[in-house]
Amino acid sequence: MNDLNQTSCPIHSYADDTTIHLSTSFQRRPTLQEVNRSRRDATERLTFDLSKISDWGRENLVVFNASKTQFLHLSTRHDLPDNYSLFFNDTQLSPSSTMNIVGLSFAHNFNWKFHFSSLAKTASMKLGVLRRLRQYFSPVPTTNFIQGPYPSMYGVCFRCIGGSTRTFFR
C-alpha cells in the first residue's frame, strides 16, 4: 500500500493491517448543527478514501474483505446517535464498540476495561502454558525463555500477579 496515492485522511499500515483515521475538533463547544456538519464531512472524506483504497486494490489484484473492516467512532458526545453511513466495497460498515490495533484495544467510550481484561486473559493463558510445561524444564532455561523473546508479556504477567520466576518454579 506504499504506492497508494495520497488519501485525505492519515493512513497507517502494519503487516497486513491498514488503519485510516480522521480526527475533528472545535475551538469551543459546538452546536448540534456544527457537530452534524462535521460528521457529514468526516463521513464524506472517509468514504472517498475508502473508495480510493478499494480502487487501488482492484488495480493491484488485492481483494479486501469488507466484512472484516471495522469502524470505530470515538467521541466525547455520547448523547448523539451514530446516524451516518460508511461504505467499503459496497458494504455498509457498522460501528464497532471496540477495536484492536496492534495489540491495543480501543473502546468507543474511551474505557480501558476491555483492553486490560483482554491483556489479563492473554497473560493468564500464557502463564497456564508455562505452569504446565515447567515440569519438563529446569528454572534457568525457562527464565531465559521468559526474559528472551517474550519479555514484555511474560514480564507483565509476573509483575501483575506479583510472583517472580524464583517462586514460580519451586
- Per-residue cell: 154: 511474560
111 vs 113: CA distance, rounded Å: 6
Backbone angles phi, psi at 35, to 5 degrees: -65, -45
Tens digit of each residue's pLDDT (9 = 90 or more) over 81-135: 666 788 888 888 888 888 877 777 777 777 777 777 877 888 788 778 877 877 8
Instruction: Report the predicted TM-score, pTM, of the whole model to 2 decimal places.
Output: 0.65
* Non-local CB neighbours of 35 within 8 Å, separated by 6+ positions: 77, 80
Confidence check: pLDDT of 61 > 70: yes
The helix-helix angle for 113-133 and 139-147 (nearest 10°) equals 150
Domain ranges of the chain: 11-111, 114-168
Nearest to 80 by CA among 35, 142, 117: 35
Confidence check: pLDDT of 5 > 50: yes
The reported pLDDT for the residue numbered 128 is 83
